Amino acid sequence: MRVDGHRVGRQRVGAHAGHPRRKEVTQVFGRRRRGDEDGQDLAEEAAKTTPGGESGQSAGTDAGESPKSDRTGGPFDASEVDLSSARSGRIDLGGLLIKGAPGMKLQLQVDQRTGNATSALLTVGEAAVQLIAVAAPRSSGMWAQTRLQIAQDAKRRGGRAEEATGPFGTEMRLVVPVQAPDGKQMLQPSRVSGIDGPRWMLRATFLGRATNDATVFGQLVDLVKQTVVIRGEGPMAPGDVIVLKPPAGSQTPATPDQPLQA
């Protein structure tokens, strides 16, 4: 399984708009709010705007120039926390421990070919952040090379990308054309942060109001900072997706539009 233009089973993650073999499973935490109706739209936006390179290169092997990400206050590696305490206050997705928030909707995006969940979409009202964790080399980060792939893909799709300073270091700010639910073309902004950790990279794609409302953006950044990445000790090639799983006690829905039942 690979991300950022590399293979996930036989599927490239985020390289093109629309993923016919991708499904979502959903769980809502706290009281449902009016903005929750936007969750499915944001899920579709995440699928359309998550960029990936098309070079087919092996990610991370030439990223020695990647500067260290700013992980002050998180996100954390499993080795940096007491896992027992971290699990008790977070949603356990296997490869990620996610902090819940009132009204937050959690969607796992699943590769139907393999049945593995490859990313988590956290939606609060009209804003969302998509999290994808991948394995990285022990000696170097991947974010510098990944930024180049993201910029190339945005340009190929007729959009634009620029680097800017973000909460975790250098981020990518994108505007790419996507197809709206009514079939019309629209420009979709997003902000993408890559956080290099010990033998992993966590990519956070911010969507909706998180791209233009500093307060909302800060709330989602706090959720990302409270995330714990559990890579595991097994061998993984750079770019391999760290697989996620539904929370314990949840039932995988028969159809993608049904919520998970706790």
Dump pLDDT digits (tens) for 136-195.
998 888 999 999 999 999 999 999 999 999 999 999 999 999 988 888 999 999 999 999
Q: How far apart are CA 112 and CA 136, in angstroms?
A: 24
Q: Tell me the CA distances in angstroms from 207 to 33, 66, 126, 169, 185, one per residue in order.
A: 18, 25, 9, 18, 17
Domain 7-55+71-229 has CATH 1.10.3430: no
Domain ranges, ordered by start, for the chain: 7-55+71-229
Quote the pLDDT of residue 45: 55
| CA 135 to chain CA centroid, nearest Å | 14
Quote the pLDDT of residue 52: 47
- Of 174, 133, 143, residue with least CA distance to 2: 133
Give the residues of the chain that fall short of pLDDT 50.
1-22, 29-37, 39, 51-66, 252-262
Quote the pLDDT of residue 139: 83
Q: Which structure tokens are listed for 254?
A: 């028969």
Quote the pLDDT of residue 256: 36
Quote the pLDDT of residue 115: 85
